Amino acid sequence: MHGDAVFHVDELPSGDSARLDGPEGRHAATVRRMRVGEHLVLSDGAGGLARCAVTEVGKDSVGLDVLARWLEPAPSPRVTLVQALVKGDRGELAVELATEAGIDAVHPWRAARCVARWEDGPRGAKALARWRSTALQAAKQARRAWVPEVGEPLGTGQLAELVRDSARTLVLHEAAEVGLAEVELPAEGDLLIVVGPEGGITESEIARLTESGAIPVRLGHTVLRASTAAAVALGALGVLTGRWGAAGGTGESAR
């Protein structure tokens, strides 16, 4: 994206000019202090991008001239993180790091040994909103064309259904006998990464997930925190699959 700052919009402008307002416009004008002639990129979070030149700077908005539009295809295989709830802000850290590393979707998991509990109601909704905000901000910081979807919390039964529907599911487990590099990985489809809570995944949870088709794998010989394991796995998957291959995208098209 040329190193330009990225700003999220619900919909890309259809014409030759546009105005970025609201929180993103305010950020561009007052925090980033964009100047006339500078370039930025608008992203709809679903692969659509537009490179723009700043033509006017207001108090809390900027006027834009649309220079080019293009579409960046989603990575393949599509990788979804199933992240067990963890206490404090470590869940948000897990989402932030995984988003920077390229995760495509996130599902919070109410695992048996989770210390954190997202009960139905306002408190749970607030916690979920923080994860979604974290994913959006991390995607912008990483200049990603795709913002990961953060779904509703899952129970283990719902997770087992996801496992059955996936092309491959990897459960990160320190006691696994198989290393990540030893597993045959799909070239396309949905690849799930399951990260347990700080207290670990129970034997019954492992049994249910493996019965549904999941494969327990280890990352090296050290034990990673629940908040960092997914990001490390994504780095390995970038090398082991085609996700870090040639840059995607259909190329920029003039306005």
Structure confidence by residue, pLDDT tens digits, 147-186: 999 999 999 999 999 999 999 999 999 889 999 999 999 9
Residue 247 has pLDDT above 70, yes or no: no
Give the distance from CA 187 to its chain's centroid.
Answer: 19
One-letter identity of residue 46: A
Residue 250 has pLDDT above 90, yes or no: no
- The residues of the chain that CATH labels 2.40.240.20 are 5-71
Q: Over the Cα atoms of the chain, what is R_g?
A: 20
Residues of the chain with CATH 3.40.1280.10: 78-244
Average pLDDT over residues 48-64: 96
Residue 246 has pLDDT above 70, yes or no: no
| Partners of residue 191 on adjacent β-strands | 79, 168
Of residues 41 and 254, more confidently modeled = 41
For domain 78-244, give the fold: Alpha/beta knot (3.40.1280)
Residue in the structure block whose two tokens are 């489809």 = 189
- Collapsing DSSP to helix, strand or coil, 2 comes out as coil
- Please determine, for residue 248, whether its predicted confidence score (pLDDT) is greater than 50: no
Predicted confidence at residue 249, as pLDDT, reads 47
pLDDT in tens, 76-87: 999 999 999 988
pTM of model > 0.85: yes
Any long-range contacts for 179-186 (C-beta under 8 Å, 24+ apart)? 179/217, 179/218, 179/219, 179/220, 180/217, 180/218, 180/219, 180/233, 180/236, 180/237, 180/240, 181/236, 181/240, 182/217, 183/215, 183/217, 185/77, 185/237, 185/240, 185/241, 186/77
Return mean pLDDT, the chain. 92
Q: Is the pLDDT of residue 22 over 70?
A: yes
Q: Which CATH class is domain 5-71?
A: mainly beta
CA–CA separation, 138 and 141 (whole Å): 5
